[in-house]
Amino acid sequence: MHPSVSIHSLALSGVLGLALLAAGQSAAAQLTAIVAVEPTARKAAHTILRSAMESGLSRAASQNAVVSTSDDLADVMRTTRSAGYDVFIGPAQVAASALQRGYELVGSTGKSEQYLLVGTTQVPAVGAMKDRRLYLPQQDSIYTYMARGMLNEAGLSFKDLKAVQHEKFPQAGLTAMALGSADATVVRADEWAEWSAAHPGGARVLATSMPVPGGFTVVVRKDLPAETRARLAQWFATSSDQAGLALASQRPQAQEYQRVAELGLFTPSGLPGVQRISAKEAQQLQSQGALIVDTRTEKEFRTKRIKGALWAAYIEKSLKDVAFNAAQDDFTALDKLTQAAPARPVVFACNGAECWKSYKAAKVASGKGYKTVYWLRGGLPEWAADGLPTESD
């Protein structure tokens, strides 16, 4: 090869390398945001001007900003788990997922609101929804999250229902009940107030949710520079209305997002037929002769456990759902309990609210005739957080 060709090639390679490096640095410096649209709230999203939002965020962050929009909430939820964007603007369930994964709250555009599970007059209570028909908006809607939570509180799953009909408009569920094509639906408290005033006695409230942050919630990555986060928060609080997004001036309690997050992953807060207790109540029962049963793996039990607890592993293969199939699981360790404490009260515990083993064990034991069954939902984490005694091998 001629020397001049070689030098020219090297020079060209160097120029291309610098160009690629500059492009990479530019991409790395780019701020990314996504507006996640609740399937039931597309009308509210139509007011958002993406180009105006990009301009506003670019000025606030002093760097180029790119804004995307999506009404595929299943996909958006996946991106919260992988920190796919610097800023998420979306309904409460999107923010709740992101807040558990390295994001911080800026604020929400609407006041917190409650959701109601309402049924026809033939449905006396939530528990009576078994084998009945439920009308809901799309599967990733906040309405569906609320419905799952309220059913779980009564020990029911969507699997226990005769049918779950997913449609686009939540208010149409009330019409579906009036027409006899649905037995229950979920609506916001304000929607119910308007409808029930016009149709007195047409339906009844079966359950009420906890407060849920309303409108769009804005969260930003915690690892962004502090100055950038502060300027973004300022823009969303004072200037985002210029881009068609209401000001994120509301500051919901962190607990409200935590509760929303729990609906998809955590055990329900109650177990019908079994008394849920706190760690301190469990310790008091233990001092009175109750047996605390650790349902985790042997390795976990040996590493750290509640002092005085008995190990009886619940080996689960069934779904983490209130309608789990116990026949798919292995809880032969329950026989050991029968031998060790045939008449003693038992307290089932595992790794806290996200662990289903103690929930399932308590339900199985109760179903097999154990008279006095308690459930320590907070498990070992709550016990240790309260400073109660633990032990290990």
At 86, list the tokens.
């610097």
Architecture of domain 3-111+213-265: 3-Layer(aba) Sandwich (3.40)
Q: In what order do the strands lie in the sheet with 31-36?
A: 65-70, 31-36, 87-90, 212-221, 103-113
Measure the CA–CA gap between 356 and 322, rounded to whole angstroms. Answer: 9
| Cβ atoms of residues 364 and 337 within 8 Å | no
What backbone phi and psi angles, to 5 degrees, belong to 142?
Answer: -65, -30
CA distance 26 to 29: 5
Q: What is the pLDDT of residues 282-325, one digit of tens each?
A: 999 999 999 999 999 999 999 999 999 999 999 998 878 888 89
Pairing of strands 373-376, 275-276: parallel
Pick the range with the lowest mean pLDDT from 215-219, 317-321, 365-369, 371-375.
317-321
Phi then psi dihedrals of residue 40, to 5 deg: -90, 5
In the prediction, which pLDDT does 44 show? Answer: 60
Helix (H, G, I), strand (E, B) or coil at 140: coil
Which pLDDT does position 3 carry in this prediction? 39
Confidence of residue 155 (pLDDT cuts 50, 70, 90): confident
User: How far from 375 is each of 153, 271, 293, 363, CA to CA, in Å?
Assistant: 14, 8, 10, 9
User: What pLDDT shows up at residue 258?
Assistant: 86
The 10 Å CB-count burial string (b at 16+, else e) for 130-145 is: eebbbbbbbebbbbbb
Contact 212, 91 (CB under 8 A): no
Asked if 3-111+213-265 and 115-208 have one fold, the answer is: yes
- From residue 23, alpha-carbon distances to 17, 19, 26, 225 in Å are 10, 6, 5, 21
Percent of the chain past pLDDT 90, that is, above it, reads 62
- Is CATH 3.40.250.10 correct for 275-391? yes
Read off the pLDDT of each residue in 337-350 and give the average, rounded to a whole number: 82
- What is the rounded average pLDDT for all residues in the chain? 87
pLDDT at residue 74 in the model: 75
Q: Please tell me the class of the 115-208 domain.
A: alpha beta
Where b means 16+ CB within 10 Å and e means fewer, 52-85 reads: ebbebbbebbeeebbbeeebebeebbebbeeeeb
Give the residue extent of every domain in the chain: 3-111+213-265, 115-208, 275-391
Element housing 173 (H / E): helix 172-178
- Give the pTM: 0.67
Give first-to-last CA distance, the chain, whole Å: 71
Residue in 147, 153, 146 with CA at minimum distance from that of residue 127: 153
**Which residue matches tokens 């788990």?**
81
CA atoms within 13 A on the CB side of 136: 22
Q: Which of 328, 370, 322, 327 is nearest to 348 (CA)?
A: 370
Q: Tell me: the pLDDT tens digits for 104-138?
A: 999 999 999 999 999 999 999 999 999 999 998 77
Q: C-alpha distances in angstroms, 93 versus 73, 134, 225?
A: 9, 21, 25
Average pLDDT, integer, range 160-187: 88
- Which residues neighbour 229 within 8 Å (Cβ) at sequence distance 6 or greater? 104, 220, 222
pLDDT given at position 13: 44
Distances (CA, A) of 30 to 23, 57, 85, 165: 11, 11, 10, 42
